Amino acid sequence: MRIDPHSYTDDRHAHVRSLDWEARVDFATRTLDAVATLHLDAPAAGPLDLDTRGLAVDRVTDDRGAAVPFVLHPAEAILGSRLALTLPEGTRAVTVAYRTAADASALQWLDPAQTAGGAQPYLFSQCQAIHARSVVPLQDTPQRRVTFTAKLTVPAALRGLMAAAFDGRDERGDVAVERWHMPQPIAPYLFAFAVGDLASRELGARSRVWAEPAVVDAAAWEFAGVDAMLAAGEALFGPYAWDRFDILVMPPSFPYGGMENPRLTFVTPTLLAGDRSQVRVISHELAHAWSGNLVTNAHAGHFWLNEGWTRYAELRMVEVLEGADTAALVSAICRKDLDETVARFIAEGHGGLTRLRTHLEGVDPDEAFSVVPYDKGELFLRTLEQAVGRARFDVFARSYLDTFRFGAITTEAFLEFTERALPGVLARVDAVRWVDGEGLPDGAPRARSARLDAVAAMGDALPPADARLSTTEWNLWLERLPRPQPTDYCAALDARFGFTSSGNMEVKVAWLRLALASGYDPVLPEVARVLGAVGRMKYLVPLYSALLARPETRALASELFARHAPGYHPIARAVVRGRLDRG
């Protein structure tokens, strides 16, 4: 039987327990020439189904060198191609020799011009949710964790990095072979690597930051507070289980704000605001070391257990590191986005996506992605916290993480555990309404703080020229401003506060959305520039949506997409194209 709507993994088959992976990175053909040896939990015989997407499989052999018969089935939308092996009696391991496709969905191959240095090419992976299969044939479900060893052959001028423990590098003429191992079992979506012109700076005893040489010093400054974050994370959730917490600053086309790859979090360079105002993304990715990487959603239908817990932890860390007032501002920004997303989903007939427990059979997780699992999930956990008190909730959180450590978790298992640990609380907060109901329950908690009140009190009036707001406050104020605004109001606002040239992308994009919704056309060149310079979906999708929302700028949206799509990550390209197709 299938155990995950997004995987061919069958629970009657052997479990893949570990992986030995060797790949040669070929920038000329944009392919990986690879060999993967999959070790099974016990000697097996008969069928073993693996997930693949776009892989060209040369041969499959068993641990005695005998050929393993296989069928690579035609690709299905979303899932990819089932690689059906028939294992000879007593098979302990299978070795698959294959090449990846030039358009592998997990990989982005960048020309030198798309990097900060401009001289060397760059390659990186992004496997969540279901893209690992385009790089390695695997049981690509969080319910099959693997340990691994890896060997990458890269051009000698470049450096490979992997979300794993580094074992060494040997140069052989114009190539280098780099080795890693991952001793802790990980969900396949956490398999990650990058190759490029990379340098590093030490941040603390357990952390360093990697980036292209041109930005590495800025990155070291921006993320200097990482030790304090680790301390805050450990105080909340217990010892850090992954030895190191390194950070890799990606090229601008990275489609997410951050990705919690174990030992090596990947982040967008838009975090380098020069004022440390975006470091909560690092707190968020660090929190995944517990909620997500240690206790992992069993499949995408339970994604809220990854992201809701992590948003909750992120806000708790912001509270410790930046104060309760800032945490309240961040909550209010998140709440605004959540309310808008819920309203849009319901208006578009996608009310099902406003539940915490979702039914994603036949749905691409990249298309279903939204802030709902993050912020509705966080509000549900906050509701539980308020119902039992913080002290009891913190004990509960620790015991939840201990119980499901290195395991996969469903909403059902979460509810059962919660009922046992905190008897009666689920009924008291009407948990069924939270988990399976659409939209937000009445009385969902709201953050309160003096600074929040002060931002609210500003109303819609043009703020005085000497208004001193933090970037988080500006962000919230701009998000809440009704739209459209008169164009002369927009002009006055920008003249006074220079939002169009803000170094903070959150503020800039909040402003550009307001300006576009108000028909304030002087921002169009900057919108066009941002859409060509940044690939983070959190910015692309709202900006394209704002262009599509007005008849006057619809053609510009298509024109800019046609121009810039080749530089977008395959996932971002598909998501933005979907948005344009819906009109």
CB nearer to ligand BES: pick between 39 and 288: 288
Contact flags string 19-58 toward Zn ion, x per CB under 5 A: ----------------------------------------
From ligand BES, Zn ion, none, interface partner of 538 (C-beta below 5 to 8 A by class): ligand BES
Catalytic status, residue 361:
no
Q: Nearest distance from residue 361's CB to Zn ion, in Å? A: 23
Residue from the set 26, 285, 325, 385 that interacts with ligand BES by CB under 6 A:
285
**3-state SS, residue 532:** helix
Q: Nearest distance from residue 466's CB to Zn ion, in Å? A: 37
Q: Nearest distance from residue 311's CB to Zn ion, in Å? A: 7
Catalytic status, residue 374:
yes
**Residue in the structure block whose two tokens are 């002009």:** 491
Q: Which stretch binds ligand BES (CB under 6 A): 22-30, 64-72, 254-262, 490-498?
A: 254-262
Please, are residues 43 and 91 in contact by the beta-carbon 8 Å criterion? yes
Q: In the window 260-279, what residues touch ligand BES (CB under 6 A)?
A: 260
* H/E segment holding residue 46: strand 31-52
Checking DSSP bridges between strand 175-186 and strand 146-155, what pairing results, if any?
Answer: antiparallel
From ligand BES, Zn ion, none, interface partner of 259 (C-beta below 5 to 8 A by class): ligand BES
Side-chain-side CA neighbours of residue 249 (13 Å):
30
**Residue in the structure block whose two tokens are 């948003």:** 311
7 binds Zn ion (CB under 5 A): no
105 binds Zn ion (CB under 5 A): no
Tokens in use for 160?
């490979």
CB nearer to ligand BES: pick between 85 and 572: 572
| CA atoms of 465 and 470, how far apart (whole Å) | 14
Please, are residues 104 and 22 in contact by the beta-carbon 8 Å criterion? no
| CA atoms of 109 and 567, how far apart (whole Å) | 9
Q: Nearest distance from residue 422's CB to ligand BES, in Å? A: 27
**Residue in the structure block whose two tokens are 């592998």:** 104
Please, are residues 353 and 345 in contact by the beta-carbon 8 Å criterion? yes
Residue from the set 53, 263, 538, 573 that interacts with ligand BES by CB under 6 A:
538
**Residue in the structure block whose two tokens are 């327990």:** 17
CB nearer to Zn ion: pick between 310 and 354: 310
129 binds ligand BES (CB under 6 A): yes
| CA atoms of 246 and 204, how far apart (whole Å) | 10
Please, are residues 252 and 535 in contact by the beta-carbon 8 Å criterion? yes
CB nearer to ligand BES: pick between 154 and 540: 540
From Zn ion, ligand BES, none, interface partner of 187 (C-beta below 5 to 8 A by class): none
What own/partner pairs with CB < 8 Å and gap ≥ 24 does 41-45 have? 41/14, 41/15, 41/16, 41/17, 42/14, 43/90, 43/91, 43/92, 44/13, 44/14, 44/87, 44/91, 44/92, 45/87, 45/88, 45/89, 45/90, 45/91
Q: Is the dihedral of CA 560, 565, 569, 574 positive or negative?
A: positive
Q: Is the dihedral of CA 571, 248, 545, 354 positive or negative?
A: positive
Q: Which stretch binds ligand BES (CB under 6 A): 60-68, 190-198, 250-258, 382-390?
A: 250-258
Please, are residues 219 and 201 in contact by the beta-carbon 8 Å criterion? yes
CB nearer to Zn ion: pick between 212 and 307: 307
CB nearer to ligand BES: pick between 260 and 385: 260
Residue from the set 259, 356, 397, 476 that interacts with ligand BES by CB under 6 A:
259
Identify the active-site residue in 374, 400, 539, 544. Answer: 374
* Helix spans in 263-408 (H): 280-287, 303-322, 324-347, 365-368, 377-388, 390-404
Q: Which stretch binds ligand BES (CB under 6 A): 256-264, 341-349, 496-504, 559-567?
A: 256-264
541 binds ligand BES (CB under 6 A): no
From ligand BES, Zn ion, none, interface partner of 364 (C-beta below 5 to 8 A by class): none
Q: Which stretch binds ligand BES (CB under 6 A): 284-292, 315-323, 340-348, 554-562?
A: 284-292
Tokens in use for 20?
């030995």
- How long, in residues, is the chain? 583
In 198-280, where do the E strands start and end? 199-204, 207-211, 246-249, 258-259, 264-267
Q: Nearest distance from residue 280's CB to ligand BES, in Å? A: 6
Please, are residues 549 and 569 in contact by the beta-carbon 8 Å criterion? no
Report CA Rg, the chain.
24
Residue from the set 54, 80, 121, 257 that interacts with ligand BES by CB under 6 A:
257
Q: Which stretch binds Zn ion (CB under 5 A): 203-211, 310-318, 345-353, 362-370?
A: 310-318
Residues 6 or more apart whose Cβ sits within 8 Å of residue 273: 222, 471, 503, 504, 505
Tokens in use for 45?
């015989």
Residue from the set 312, 369, 499, 568 that interacts with ligand BES by CB under 6 A:
369
User: Which residue is at the shortest CB distance from ligand BES?
Assistant: 257
CB nearer to Zn ion: pick between 21 and 266: 266
Identify the active-site residue in 178, 222, 285, 473. Answer: 285
Q: Closest Cα to residue 557, out of 581, 580, 578?
A: 580
From Zn ion, ligand BES, none, interface partner of 369 (C-beta below 5 to 8 A by class): ligand BES
400 binds ligand BES (CB under 6 A): no
Instruction: Write the CA distances from 576 to 18, 332, 352, 407, 536, integer angstroms.
Output: 36, 27, 21, 34, 11
Q: In the window 195-234, what residues touch ligand BES (CB under 6 A)?
A: none
Q: Nearest distance from residue 278's CB to Zn ion, in Å? A: 14
Q: Is the dihedral of CA 49, 52, 56, 62 positive or negative?
A: negative
| CA atoms of 180 and 458, how far apart (whole Å) | 54
CB nearer to ligand BES: pick between 257 and 542: 257
CB nearer to Zn ion: pick between 140 and 307: 307
310 binds Zn ion (CB under 5 A): yes
Contact flags string 290-309 toward Zn ion, x per CB under 5 A: -----------------x--
From Zn ion, ligand BES, none, interface partner of 134 (C-beta below 5 to 8 A by class): none
281 binds ligand BES (CB under 6 A): yes
Residues in the site for Zn ion, rule: CB under 5 A?
307, 310
Residues in the site for ligand BES, rule: CB under 6 A?
128-129, 256-260, 281, 284-285, 288, 307, 369, 374, 538
State the catalytic residues. 285, 374
